[in-house]
Structure 1
């Protein structure tokens, strides 16, 4: 049977020289029942379900995280969750889940590297790293990867840590990864927003020695400043003639979002190239300060990196919106991240230092503020996804967005009762807006099994899973 003229393929894209810009889910991609036909015979293909993970290191202030009540949020949220108050109807707080397989190791590395594998890692100071198994995101990517341009995306903002942490005698390679395509193959995070954006929407490879290799002489390469929208303008105008009013509006909203991300990337690039200006006299009088300025890495001076984080989150949103991928992870920081959060009022110094609070009131207060900042960024993405119409619902309705850390309390290094949030409805299979208190000691792997089912993958078992979390459905 031939395709109706109005029906658009789910794999359709706007194309120009060097550009293939995937489309958001449109009504014109859904087959319509024939007049007089039995609707039960017609297979209606709705929007796909996506799975995203936002990981943050160093745990939380355990005294200001868990809601006092189980069930709907009828009273105020704890301090660290207040930034999600506006989107709480779209979020589940999950408590009493734990990752038992990583409890045998010291410090952060054992917990963080196994956050998505739920397995025990191999302690080593060499290159023979082993996370015990494939992470849940990569099992899903292998299952769904052939349906999308990219099986998955891995994003972050911190440069990879190197060497050995002699405090706990373990390689820092473990600190940089939560996604593992096999037990011994970690997937590196893309920390450059330009590279991430180009991978999604431009053709060609950014690491080609010959920048035009394999491309037409006038093709748009990852090195051009030209907007991808300029390259696909003719194709987008032609497509609009085939769309209804609602789909035209969706397309305009999507293209506006792409343009916004491009503008923000340009501003970020310009800002990053601006020199740090220091009075020459001060340089002469304060050689120690001079050395500090030269050698201290970005992110260690208390710079507000919120714009950088939100840019990466919006790139993930575009990837989900266009079905370029259905699986994505984002790391706010590596294990033992010492990023300076002094841009937040009331915070002095680094994240890791605050997590080792030793019950010091000032450090605990700063620790809570840092966690609240992370929740605020999560809430930003949740709200953005809830505003994008898709099918009969929203992009968020057709997603599961997990937010969490591999430690409960950075001071105790405990993987019990992990701080976890889950937003979205998983295609209508999850009822958010509640606090679910699982049975004490419920494996984190049980949650991953539930997520896999909603992504279309039935696992006999995953890591130490031992059952279901039926409360997710309400």
Structure 2
């Protein structure tokens, strides 16, 4: 604080007061677009390899005014921002002459739509997955372009399903046709990645 014995003129006092009174209104002078920072778009893919009771999952009606089913009811607060897709088929997850190995093929083709190469070696080949295409388009708005999360430890090498690599069985996200994104299964690791260590 600077204190002086010099008296302020009324004019100087009024100039200073008017500037102080106007300060709160300066925010109103910024452009509207600068004020409204839009939340980044979020996208989630959920994979349930052992299936869902479809009557309890799929809404009975189409359009935005659908009633949430028993399974979807916990997501009610997100309904206005959520789409439920149904009636889709993944024909490349079928055998197509490769014999057994439904779990491996299904995991690899779930988001890529590609019939993966049947191999238990390192010469895996699937396709870039939809989540990675979305991450390339939307990921610049967020700290991490994509997060791959899972529920159980899984390996990405070896034979896990009738001659199909464990990479197919345990990774639904593929950065490139030959690079799976293994899921992170440790909640603490995910937390520290997002928010740092304490």
TM-score (norm: length of structure 1): 0.31
Which whole-Å deviations, capped at 9, do the CAs of 1:294-331 have from their partners, x for residues lacking one?
xxxxxxxxxxxxxxxxxxxxxxxxxxxxxxxxxxxxxx
Which whole-Å deviations, capped at 9, do the CAs of 1:218-276 have from their partners, x for residues lacking one?
xxxx5xxxxx3xxxxxxxxxxxxxxxxxxxxxxxxxxxxxxxxxxxxxxxxxxxxxxxx
CA distance in 2, matches of 1:141, 1:64: 30
Match of 2:176 in 1: 182
Residue in structure 2 matching 1:159, options 139, 153, 157: 153
Which whole-Å deviations, capped at 9, do the CAs of 1:96-137 have from their partners, x for residues lacking one?
112233333641211211211122211112111111x21122
CA distance in 1, matches of 2:195, 2:165: 35
Match of 1:126 in 2: 121
Q: Is the alpha carbon distance of 1:83 and 1:170 closer, same or farther for their aligned partners in structure 2, counting shifts above 3 Å?
A: closer
Match of 2:144 in 1: 150
Match of 1:361 in 2: none
Contact 1:58/1:108, CA 8 A, preserved across alignment: no
Is 1:197 paired with 2:191? yes
Match of 1:48 in 2: 40
Match of 1:58 in 2: 50
CA RMSD, aligned part only? Answer: 2.9
Q: Is the alpha carbon distance of 1:61 and 1:45 closer, same or farther for their aligned partners in structure 2, counting shifts above 3 Å?
A: closer
- In structure 2, runs of 5+ residues without a counterpart are 1-26
Count of matched residue pairs: 162
Q: Is the alpha carbon distance of 1:45 and 1:158 closer, same or farther for their aligned partners in structure 2, counting shifts above 3 Å?
A: same
Is 1:110 paired with 2:105? yes
CA distance in 1, matches of 2:182, 2:84: 29
Contact 2:60/2:66, CA 8 A, preserved across alignment: no
Match of 2:89 in 1: 98
Match of 1:26 in 2: none
CA distance in 2, matches of 1:69, 1:146: 35
CA distance in 2, matches of 1:126, 1:99: 24
| Residue pairs, 1:4-403, within 5 angstroms | 33-34=28-29, 42=33, 44-62=36-54, 65-71=57-63, 72-73=65-66, 81-85=69-73, 87-88=75-76, 90=79, 91-103=82-94, 104=96, 106=100, 107-131=102-126, 133-161=127-155, 163-165=158-160, 168-202=162-196, 222=197, 228=198
TM-score (norm: length of structure 2): 0.67
The Cα of 1:146 is off from its aligned counterpart by 4.2
- In structure 1, runs of 5+ residues without a counterpart are 1-31, 203-221, 223-227, 229-474
Q: Using CA pairs under 8 Å that are at least 6 residues apart, name the structure with larger relative contact order, 1 or 2.
A: 1
Q: Is the alpha carbon distance of 1:87 and 1:50 closer, same or farther for their aligned partners in structure 2, counting shifts above 3 Å?
A: closer
Compare CA radii of gyration and give the structure with the larger one. Answer: 2
CA distance in 1, matches of 2:174, 2:51: 21
The Cα of 1:62 is off from its aligned counterpart by 4.7
Which whole-Å deviations, capped at 9, do the CAs of 1:46-88 have from their partners, x for residues lacking one?
22211122222112245654444445446xx6xxx41433545
Counterpart secondary structure, 1:110: helix
CA distance in 1, matches of 2:173, 2:56: 29
CA distance in 2, matches of 1:146, 1:200: 16
Which whole-Å deviations, capped at 9, do the CAs of 1:411-437 have from their partners, x for residues lacking one?
xxxxxxxxxxxxxxxxxxxxxxxxxxx
